[in-house]
Homo-oligomer: A and B are copies of this chain.
Amino acid sequence: MSHTYVYSFGAGEADGSGDMKDVLGGKGAALAEMTLAGIPVPPGFTVTTQVCNLYSAEGSVPPAVREEQSAALAALEDVSGRKLGDPDDPLLVSVRSGAKFSMPGMMDTILNLGLNDRSVEGLAVKTENRRFALDSYRRFLQMFGNVVLQIDKDVFEHELTAIKKERGVVLDTELTTQDLAQLVETFKARIKETSGEEFPQDPLVQLDMARDAVFRSWNNERAAFYRRQNEIPDDLGTAVNVQAMVFGNKGPTSGTGVGFTRNPSTGDHEFYGEYLLNAQGEDVVAGIRTPHPLADLEREMPEVYKQLREITGRLETHYRDVQDFEFTVEDGRLFMLQTRAGKRTAQAAIRIAVDMVSEELITKEEALLRVDPEQLDQLLHPRIDPSAEVDNIATGLAASPGAAVGKIVFDSHAAVEAAENGEKVILVRMETNPDDIRGMDASAGILTATGGMTSHAAVVARGMGKCCVAGCSSVEIHEKDGFFKVGDRRFERGDVITLNGSTGEVHAGAVPTLEPEMSGEFEEFMSWADSIRGMRVRANADVPKDAEQARAFGAQGIGLCRTEHMFFAEDRIPWVRQMILNGPTAKSLAKRVAALEADLADAGGARKGMLEAALKDARAALAEPQRLFDEAVAAMLPLQREDFRGILAAMEGLPVTIRTLDPPLHEFLPNKEELAIEVALLEAKGGNASELESKKQLLRTVEELSEFNPMLGHRGCRLGISFPEITQMQARAILEATAALLKENVRVFPEIMIPLVGDVREFRHQRALVDQVAQDVAQSTGVDLPYLVGTMIEVPRAALTADEIASEAQFFSFGTNDLTQMTYGFSRDDIGKFLFEYLDLGILDRDPFVSLDQGGVGQLVSGAVAKGRGARPDIKIGICGEHGGDPRSVDFCFRNGLNYVSCSPYRVPIARLAAAQATLRHQKEDAERA
């Protein structure tokens, strides 16, 4: 028989095979494969994907399809011993879509096809269950009406609700046989009324109509959208699978169940699942009857159990992975309805992967590719007990994984206080700022109303390994009045809430959580990953504690040590503010002095005298601010030296990349708006004049330093250029700490990183300062200093001119947070206003602050790598944006030849595995090309 359009399967024979996914779709190919493997699956046939395309083009299927389909149907009737539409013992079939790639829930399915006014009675007799037969019929009418005839679901739901109301019952199962018979009639009447046609009683007509409806569903809106999202070509088409229905509710020798070949929670190698006798699939999951563990089946149906063990064992070996299967026993006969790779917890995934390697079922390489790196997060953080009931009140961004339970506080001060009293709190803020570091550290979790995946709260929380839900815009915070609202619900200061940082959910009350567990298998598994990957993994850490944590997670260095967090420590902030309040003043006065000196050089006569007087005044004005600025900078030196000593020592033997001061200075000063309110209130009260004057003076400084767009403002190397003293102080602190450690035989490798460079001349300016300091320190200590000076590539212009910059810089580190902000023009702190909308509309495939935008930002990255290596072939290149811990982005970095990725300490294991997977995929692609 020729199989151009329709492929049969059943009774151990199949026209197709498992490698024909293009033709038969994934499901059709699997059905053929299982059948050929001697696994009992209900017989049926598959109409090919090609027919879908023909149907899409022509609006109908060619005559040849009809012919082949008739033959396949005859064969199916033959194998199953029943006939479609038989009034005594009807063959019922399911009609399902099945494309090459799984598109779960996107297309339509029709069950119980073959029922009509006569065959329903045959089914009633055969199953000795008239209620079941009528219920099957009304379900078929509903599905057929909706899917094939495109009648709104509500039409049927409305009738169902009406009859339940009439009978005074709540559940569908409370309806009587009589009620269902009435409903069948009503449904048929509504179908005629709405579609203008009678419900087709002829099962062959039903079948053709259902097939065509499935083809049409290939082009429905959600399927088309799903394909766009998942980059599935539109011209693949879907196959249609027509398969005999089997029933597990035919009596005590029938039944149905689900199971796994290994425990999906723990990974234990045990046969795991549940079943019910005389039941249909949905009964097992509906919770009305309590199902039995599969072990009991051995007692109740020993033959079936034996066969099931044998079959599922074979399936696991065949597919070389844990199987999640569904089966039905009809009159003592076992049918496999479905088998697929089983979803599993992270713990189970690792356990199974390691076990299967030792069972020699799979290779280490395959094992590594089996575990989703993102899943490892579960192993490193506490999580919500999946069995717990939750009262979900809002959903924001899953900004930092884990779970946290605590009392609501609205400011960092309260958080610190509560922590000192041993209380767990959740810090709830519009958005956090660097002032909140201590409060965040003291909290169990952080909830913010604005801000995206790389907002301050998100970045800092991830760095701390602390649970955070960010950008939860439905939370309306009334900070001063001590409560927040979500819709109509109000939560007071002190109320307990639970955060799920892995899903972004916020729950009312305390939800039970599970602590993370790390197993021996985890270490073994990760060691395989490390032996495969070439790309190194570093961590972003600012303090020794985090650096040690990162090292414990396998970090091979620090890729980003931000120095600004050090500036907020209590012993620093007075010096920092003294520095900031006097630096700009001193600077502008110094300029005036220089200008006057220049003028004076050319001047003569009366003008000369005037200028001399002005110069004297200017020099006098300059003296005090300059002294205070210099004093503050000098005071910072020993403190910073200790900071760097700590982090360098913690990473002995490994490189530590330290970034010079980055944020705009006003971030270290009091909030402008709050200060303005204070001044206004003081003025209104007519309070202490000198206090008012000093506040006003402070406000003026804050106003002068404040910026419209701080992200694009006076920050990064721009600060270091305006205030070379700060760069010099930081370089000196780093290099003096280095010299001291080296003298103690602690091997350290500092890499000094200049932020926000956009032009090679900025870098040259800063590097000259660092090199000069290094020369001084080397001379005064007699130590040979093994330092590097490099830059972040985070401004688009830096990427575009990377060749020029590489001629001066010894390393590049892609700051993909800023690079994404500037390339898209998205402020990470404001994107929450439209991000969800963009994702919903499919304008963005994913949050570009989570997963690197390879199409846009990626062009800048790969261009910069090429230009950088062109100018300096041995330049060390890494990435230290948040993307360094995202598996897709890690893969991109690998393909672009980066030397390392750097991410939050808690994402280091994820990056290690992702890097290994990238290597394996690359090797595979290479092998395929060869």
* Residues of A participating in the B interface, judged by any CB pair closer than 8 Å: 153, 170-171, 430-431, 473-474, 476, 487-488, 588, 592, 601, 604-605, 617, 672-673, 676-677, 680-681, 684-685, 700, 703, 707-714, 718, 721-722, 756, 758-759, 761-762, 765, 794-797, 800-801, 818, 821-827, 829-830, 833-834, 837-838, 841-844, 853, 855-857, 859-860
Contact = CB atoms under 8 A, between A and B. Distances in A.
A756 B795 CA distance: 18
Given A681-B681, A681-B684, A712-B711, A797 B818 contact: no
Contacts of A857: 797
Contact of A761 (B430, B721, B834, B843): B843
B830 A601 contact: no
A842 B829 CA distance: 33
Contacts of A676: 673, 676-677
Contacts of A830: 707-710, 712-714
Given A153-B601, A677-B677, A708-B711, 4 more contacts: A722-B834, A756-B825, A796-B825, A801-B859
A795 B825 contact: yes
Nearest to A794: B825
A703 B673 CA distance: 12
Tell me the number of copies of this protein.
2
Contacts of A714: 830, 833-834
B821 A712 contact: yes
Contacts of A672: 673
Nearest to A717: B843
A468 B857 CA distance: 37
Contacts of A853: 797
A842 B592 CA distance: 19
B758 A824 contact: yes
Q: Which of A676, A761, A821, A843 has the most CB of B within 10 A?
A: A843
A822 B838 contact: no
A700 B477 CA distance: 9
Given A676-B677, A824-B758, A710 B708 contact: yes
Contacts of A713: 827, 830, 833
A430 B707 CA distance: 12
A307 to B, nearest CB: 36
A422 B732 CA distance: 62
A711 B797 CA distance: 18
**Which 3 A-B pairs give the minimum distances between C-beta atoms?**
A712-B827, A709-B827, A797-B856
13 contacts: A171-B604, A673-B673, A710-B830, A711-B825, A712-B712, A712-B830, A714-B833, A762-B843, A794-B825, A795-B823, A796-B856, A800-B823, A822-B825
Contacts of A474: 588
A182 to B, nearest CB: 20
Contact of A709 (B604, B712, B765, B801): B712
B708 A841 contact: no
Contacts of A797: 823-825, 853, 856-857
Contacts of A722: 833-834, 837
B673 A721 contact: no
Contacts of A476: 700
Given A676-B677, A708-B829, A710-B709, A860 B823 contact: no
A617 B488 CA distance: 10
Contacts of A430: 703
Contacts of A170: 604-605
A822 to B, nearest CB: 5
A566 to B, nearest CB: 23
Nearest to A601: B153
Contacts of A710: 708-709, 830
A219 B400 CA distance: 57
A718 B588 CA distance: 40
A759 B826 CA distance: 12
A425 B140 CA distance: 81
A122 to B, nearest CB: 31
Contacts of A721: 834, 837-838, 841, 843
A855 B685 CA distance: 56
Contacts of A588: 473-474
Contacts of A796: 796, 822-825, 856, 860
A700 B449 CA distance: 13
Nearest to A605: B170
A692 to B, nearest CB: 13
Q: Which of A617, A714, A860 has the most CB of B within 10 A?
A: A714
Contacts of A759: 843-844, 856
A19 B844 CA distance: 61
A713 to B, nearest CB: 4
Contacts of A617: 488
Contacts of A843: 721, 759, 761-762, 765
Nearest to A455: B708
B711 A860 contact: no
Nearest to A675: B673
Nearest to A705: B833
A431 B722 CA distance: 22
Contacts of A801: 855-856, 859
Contacts of A685: 684
A521 B797 CA distance: 44
A173 to B, nearest CB: 11
A800 B856 contact: yes
A224 to B, nearest CB: 13
Nearest to A618: B487
A198 B672 CA distance: 65
Nearest to A837: B722
B825 A758 contact: yes
A281 B1 CA distance: 112
Nearest to A855: B801
A297 to B, nearest CB: 30
Nearest to A826: B712
Contact of A680 (B487, B677, B856): B677
Nearest to A587: B837
A676 B673 CA distance: 8
Contacts of A842: 761
Contact of A711 (B673, B680, B709, B718): B709
A712 B711 CA distance: 9
Nearest to A756: B825
A63 B176 CA distance: 122
A714 B601 CA distance: 53
A580 to B, nearest CB: 13
A684 B761 CA distance: 53
A171 B722 CA distance: 40
A838 B714 CA distance: 12
A677 B679 CA distance: 9
A323 to B, nearest CB: 29
A829 to B, nearest CB: 4
A531 to B, nearest CB: 37
Nearest to A474: B588
A226 B313 CA distance: 80
Contact of A707 (B601, B703, B827): B827
A729 B333 CA distance: 66
Contacts of A795: 823-825
A681 to B, nearest CB: 6
Contacts of A825: 711-712, 756, 758, 794-797, 818, 822
Contacts of A822: 712, 796, 822-823, 825
Contacts of A153: 601
Contacts of A827: 707-709, 711-713
A826 B797 CA distance: 11
Contacts of A718: 834
Nearest to A684: B681
Contacts of A680: 677, 680-681
Nearest to A433: B708
